[in-house]
Amino acid sequence: MGSSLAKRTPKKGKRSKRTERPRKSWWGRLFRFGVYTGFLVSLGVAGYLLYLDRNITKTFEGRRWSVPAQLYARPTELYPTARISLVELETELKRLGYRLDPNLTTPGTFKRRGRQLDIHLRDFRFMERHRSAQRITVYFNGDEIRQLTGRSGDIPLLRLDPAVIGSFFPSHGEDRIILTPDEVPELLAEGLKAIEDRGFDKHVGFSLRGILRALVANIRSGERAQGGSTLTQQLVKSYYLDNRRTYERKLQEVAMAFILDARFSKEDILTAYVNEIFLGQNGARAIHGFGLGAQFYFNKPLTELDPDEIATMISIIRGPSFYNPFRHPERALERRNRILNTFHKDGLIDETQFNVAVAQPIGVVASPNSAGAYYPAFLDQVRAELKEVYDSSDLSSRGLRIFTTIDPRLQDDVQRSITRTLGQIETDRRIDSGALQAAAIVADTQTGEIQALVGGRKGRVDGFNRALSAQRPVGSLIKPVVYLVALEQGHHLASIVKDEPLTLTPPNGQPWSPKNFDGEYRGDLPLVRALAQSLNLATVHLGTTIGLDHVQNRFADLVGRAPRNRYPSLLLGAEDLSPMEMLGLYGNFASNGFRTRPKAVIAVLDERGRPLTHHPFDLTQTIQSGDVAAINRALEIVMAKGTGRSSPFARQGIAGKTGTSNDNRDSWFAGFDNTYLSVVWVGRDDNEVTGLTGASGALRVWNNIARQQPITPLQHPPGPELVAVEFDTGLRAAPSCADVVMIPVPDKYELPIKPGCGIRTRVRDRIRRWLGN
């Protein structure tokens, strides 16, 4: 046992292997762990920053020049003999944002001198050429222009710059007018720095002092009350981040602002801020950037804003709702004046400018919808036409310039007429206020160019577009198609048709016994009277004689689609159409026998002004000249002696037709003179009974529209000579002894003469009286 113990005892002077290995310090282990962890964290941070860098650069480069397509209205044309008064031209200039200035200091100004207007026009790039800013003088003679002069003498024709009527902003609703650095006023650039970020030119995207100041304020208040954000950080929040207010998101914001500042120049960042900042909301349309903000709040370009107006817009940044100048003008005015005081102290404006600016009222337009023009219903039609050629991304980002057919003056007249007339009808008939709705379209009779389109009672609010999307029974508006087919089959307007009871039982259908509106029967009568008085029984008798299938085929030719209703009730308008489809149908009559597709777009230019597409009107003859002359004459008689006779314009060369659906749910009117074709619908969205006929509803709306525009009587193409026939019977008669209408009758027909009232009889009686004397 002793020997074994001796073996285990180490020899003197030697140490075991375990005691020779040095013991590792835990401090060393901790150090190495820290190095490894720091390396990994640094690698992660570097990777994250690299990711942020690429993401920020790509998004910034793409988004700062992502420009929604801008849409322009038809420009007002000025020329000698143009029917526009001095007051009307003043109104149009104010609509375009021109302002009174006795010195015409800058473009966008005008002044009045007696019976003339001096105008300093803005420069504008039209479809064909660029027009430089210039001064002109317009001389008036009564309600028309007598002469236009410029630097080089008389001007035969001049166009005002067209109104901007909207943009095709993306689906998230952001709209903006993109500005280049040269288009940003110096006062705006320096004013933004003075109010929002004094260290902008020196810091690296964020301000440590600002962050610490905000942190102290937040600790004292016990909540996240301040953010200490620079202009660059505000831009980062708008471009990349959501609205959460957390410290983690704040760190991300600082990192991104640092990268943005390192990658891009201060001028680029400031310009992007000017184009991006949120300045208010107009329905679904978000107002972004000072370019659009100037149009929205002051109805003029940013470059024409005065110091007080620039200060007002800067004041809105802190709280577009809180400092909304439409809802809180006193609050906005107080902040504006504080900003003007800062401008003055910093030497951005002098003493005189300051005194003038603070003395101004808040100065915004009367309401959000009176700044410039915004017509969402018309824009729906433009989209519908352009989607055949362009993707939605092209319309919302490529900066296209779209020239359209809309006439803003006429559009506003139509909208006011609808709003005013519906209110009058509701009062007169004791209908709940706001229950009625309406739609109306006005187009050029020859080209089909849509000059006004109203989709509802509130025209500048996005919503259901009844002009394009409301499919409603058209009632008697379809009857001219039946009478046209009869004319094409050899009948004439004096041909006799029966107005008496009948019952039809179509195959696999129920017996149908139509009735006249008043429940009466009139026996034999001429086609012209049957159409003028919109007699249902006469129309059904005529339709069964000429063949329902022929009417259906003709409907398809004129409308562009087959009718959905294959039963005889189609003859009385039991067919749903939209006002736009009805415009297409009546366009065949208004254009003297040609189908012209309604159009809203004239041309599309790219961001450099180069033409991309031109949209000429297409023309297809659908009705022979003699037949269309006869049907249009019959529609004139509808106005003069039939269901349209209550109109004050009934005998002024207007052709038209009223329409009423079953149970008086829908009220329609379609009418045209030599210039305009109009379609009006009045009804309820819930399809309840209105109690209105075409004459008591839609025709009243049209009457108010017509009061705003001069009537140009129809001019009929050459055709058969007009013959005087008695309205009740269709017999030839003299005006002195019968109630006659003048209708075209082909020479091959010899009409019977009313006994004792023929032209020859009246001449013979006059000779006898003369001989007797």
Q: Give the residue numbers marked as catalytic.
A: 196, 476
State the Cα–Cα distance between residues 159 and 573, nearest whole angstrom.
43
State the Cα–Cα distance between residues 752 and 257, nearest whole angstrom.
92
Contact 726, 739 (CB under 8 A): yes
Q: Which residues contact 149 (CB under 8 A, 6 or more apart)?
A: 136, 137, 139, 155
Residue 435: count of CB within 10 angstroms of its CB: 13
State the Cα–Cα distance between residues 214 and 220, nearest whole angstrom.
10
Find the helix or strand (DSSP H, E) in which 217 lies: helix 208-221
3-state secondary structure 237-251: HHHHCCCCCCHHHHH
Q: Where are the alpha helices (DSSP H) in 398-511?
A: 408-429, 466-469, 479-488
Q: Look up tokens 């526009």; give the residue.
A: 84
Structure tokens at 726: 């008695």
Question: Which 3 state secondary structure label does DSSP give 557?
Answer: helix
State the Cα–Cα distance between residues 457 and 416, nearest whole angstrom.
9
Q: Which residues contact 88 (CB under 8 A, 6 or more apart)?
A: none
Reported for 753-761, long-range contacts at CB under 8 A and 24+ positions apart, including other chains, are 754/726, 754/729, 757/726, 757/731, 757/733, 758/732, 758/733, 758/734, 759/724, 759/732, 759/734, 761/734
Q: Look up tokens 């300045």; give the residue.
A: 279
Find the helix or strand (DSSP H, E) in which 214 lies: helix 208-221
3-state secondary structure 123-175: CEECCCCEECCEEEEEEEECCEEEEEEECCEECCCEECCCCEEEEECCCCCEE
CA angle 241, 246, 247 (to 5 degrees): 105
DSSP 581-620: HHHHHHHHHHTTSEEE--B-EEEEE-TTS-EEEE-PPPEE
Contact 497, 541 (CB under 8 A): yes
Residues pairing with 520 in the sheet = none
Pairing of strands 450-454, 437-444: antiparallel
Contact 179, 270 (CB under 8 A): no
Contact 425, 698 (CB under 8 A): no
Contact 230, 267 (CB under 8 A): no
Structure tokens at 94: 């104010």
Nearest to 72 by CA among 27, 32, 29, 127: 127
Find the radius of gyration of the CA atoms of the chain. 38
Residues pairing with 657 in the sheet = 670
State the Cα–Cα distance between residues 394 and 69, nearest whole angstrom.
8
Distances (CA, A) of 15 to 7, 12, 21, 690, 691: 14, 8, 10, 114, 118
DSSP conformation class of 373: -
Distances (CA, A) of 564 to 132, 466, 483: 54, 20, 20
Contact 339, 315 (CB under 8 A): yes
